[in-house]
Structure 1
Amino acid sequence: MLTIVFLHAHPDDESSQTSGSMARAAKEGHRVVVVYGTNGDHGEIPDDLAPGETLIDRRRKEADTSAEATGTERVAWLGYADSGMTGWQQNDDPESFHRADLDEAALRLVRILDEENADILVGYDWHGGYGHPDHIKVHHVAHRAAELAARPPRLLEATMNRDRMRQWYTLVVAAGQDPGFDPDGPMDDGNPLGTPEADIHWQVDVSDFIAQRRAAMQAHASQATDIGSFMAMPPEIFAAVFGAEFYIEPGRPPGMVERWFLDV
């Protein structure tokens, strides 16, 4: 059995990006670990915080609930502040993930990789899917940590299939809904969403884990705008959007295959 570490920028990112693969790996008996770069302190603040409860407290609880849904065995935190979107004043916070020294942040992750004797590390593509500063940082930290680990893990990059997202966009528009964005339009860093299919290596079927994906998303209910939009999708559209996950594997020959990346 393998140990797979998933590095995500904020608590809730795992639910929309890799929760199907996490649930699939856990069901097969592999050890799944999720690590968050930030505490998500610039997310939406819910109205029902208890006296003395902070947004960070709530999001940590939500992360634990999401882990239960996917079968994730360990939830860990690198301890950085949320950097906010591109151009926000939080980008300049010296405690933010965006501003963190690369080797220092990577070594925080390396400690976890070494403790776990990790076989696989999953980060993000070169622009973090949509250009968020913390997502871009995940890409660099994952690559550096893979270099520094005592036993370098196999490295994968979670991404979104831009061509598939374009199909989803068409479905949503045809259903009379507003998708809220165009995958070919400029995202947070000015680039289109995700990665063209020609540059992706793995399409992973997680259609049998749709229920776990929904539960993982629902666990992050405090982030009502994003999670609410996902939960409002008709079941058939939700299944079409979230029934597959996509990964780049640096160094692998070109060409996407529809296969579970653990079956190699």
Structure 2
Amino acid sequence: MGTMVNFHAHPDDEAIATSGTMMKAADEGHRVVLVVATKGEQGEVASDALSPGETLGERRTAETHDAAGIIGAHRVEFLGYEDSGMAGDEANDNPACFWQADFDEAVERVAGILAEESADVLTVYDDHGGYGHPDHIQVHRVGVEAARQAGVERVFYVTMNRTQIKRQMAEVESFAEAIEEMDAEQVERFEGDDFGTEEADITHAVDVSAYLERKRAAMLAHTSQITAESFFGTMTDEQFADAFSTEWFVAPGPPRTGDFATDLFR
């Protein structure tokens, strides 16, 4: 058995992007570790969603631990940087945010966790952070260098299958109906060429269809961000399965020439 470390930018990223892979690894007997760079302080939240005196960061930290319990993660670590907000936000200039973090210091902290855990596998985002989010890009940069320093050879870039998403938008009725419920900014992200990765460039496809119910529960554990009335919360079972039955990864190195690999440990 081995140890998988999953490095994410904000609370709920882990549930959306890699929770099925994490559940599968844990169920197979591997140790699963979640590292989160920030507490997601820039997330949107309804004015009455927090308790008196409670900060959004505190709430999202608690939600992450709730989701980790559903996932089966064995350890959760927050690096303590502040959320940088979306690209171009004023929050990008906050000296305490992850985007402005001292690179060497951040690398040392992540490399220390990898070494402490004797990590066999590390997942980070692709080099453009999936959709250009500064904190996601920083996770890639920091994580790749931390893995190099800690000697972790199996590094995977979690991504989205751009080809599949565009195909679903055009062909799959249930997915098209879900897209109609999204706001214009979300739709624009899906349609951009800097969103996710072309299918031909993806190397690993992890089938997580057996974990969809738990995956949705892990996402909904982030109640300040993903409510029952939200885009993810209102997806039918069919729509959710269309969107989330497979989690996609890119292994750096030679391009894929045959079928997708399906196991991050082999």
Task: Give the alignment's TM-score, normalised by structure 1.
Answer: 0.92
Distance in 2 separating the partners of 1:63 and 1:100: 22
Deviation at 1:87, TM superposition (A): 0.8
1:232/1:255 Cα in 2 relative to 1: closer, same or farther (>3 Å)? farther
Deviation at 1:166, TM superposition (A): 1.2
Distance in 1 separating the partners of 2:28 and 2:229: 27
Question: Aligned to 1:95, what secondary structure does the other structure show?
Answer: coil
8 A Cα contact 1:204 1:244, kept in partner: yes
Deviation at 1:263, TM superposition (A): 5.7
Distance in 2 separating the partners of 1:132 and 1:79: 18
Q: Could you list the per-position Cα deviations for residues 233-262 of structure 1 after superposition, in whole angstroms to 9, with x for gaps in the alignment? A: 111010010000100001144246344224
Q: Which residue of 2 aligns with 1:110?
A: 111
222-231 vs 54-63, which moves further: 222-231
Matches within 5 A, 1:33-44: 33-44=33-44
Matches within 5 A, 1:58-73: 58-73=59-74
Matched, 1:245 2:251: no
8 A Cα contact 1:21 1:206, kept in partner: yes
Matched, 1:131 2:132: yes
Matches within 5 A, 1:218-229: 218-224=220-226, 228-229=230-231
Partner amino acid for 1:109? V
Q: Which residue of 2 aligns with 1:257?
A: 259
Q: 1:177 aligns with which of 177, 180, 202?
A: 180
Question: Aligned to 2:100, what secondary structure does the other structure show?
Answer: coil
Unaligned runs of 5+ in 1: none
Q: Between the two proteins, what is the percent identity of the paired residues?
A: 46
Q: Which residue of 2 aligns with 1:30?
A: 30
Distance in 2 separating the partners of 1:87 and 1:226: 30
Task: Give the alignment's TM-score, normalised by structure 2.
Answer: 0.91
1:10/1:94 Cα in 2 relative to 1: closer, same or farther (>3 Å)? same
1:87/1:183 Cα in 2 relative to 1: closer, same or farther (>3 Å)? closer
Matches within 5 A, 1:182-221: 182=188, 185-186=191-192, 191-221=193-223
Distance in 2 separating the partners of 1:227 and 1:137: 31
237-246 vs 250-259, which moves further: 250-259
Aligned length: 259
Q: Could you list the per-position Cα deviations for residues 102-135 of structure 1 after superposition, in whole angstroms to 9, with x for gaps in the alignment? A: 2111111111111111111100101010000001
Distance in 2 separating the partners of 1:25 and 1:224: 25
Partner amino acid for 1:194? G
Q: Which residue of 2 aligns with 1:163?
A: 163
1:175/1:10 Cα in 2 relative to 1: closer, same or farther (>3 Å)? closer
84-93 vs 191-200, which moves further: 191-200
131-140 vs 253-262, which moves further: 253-262
1:113/1:202 Cα in 2 relative to 1: closer, same or farther (>3 Å)? same
Distance in 2 separating the partners of 1:42 and 1:227: 20
Please give the root-mean-square deviation of Cα atoms over the aligned residues, in Å: 2.0
Flag the structure with higher helix content. Answer: 2
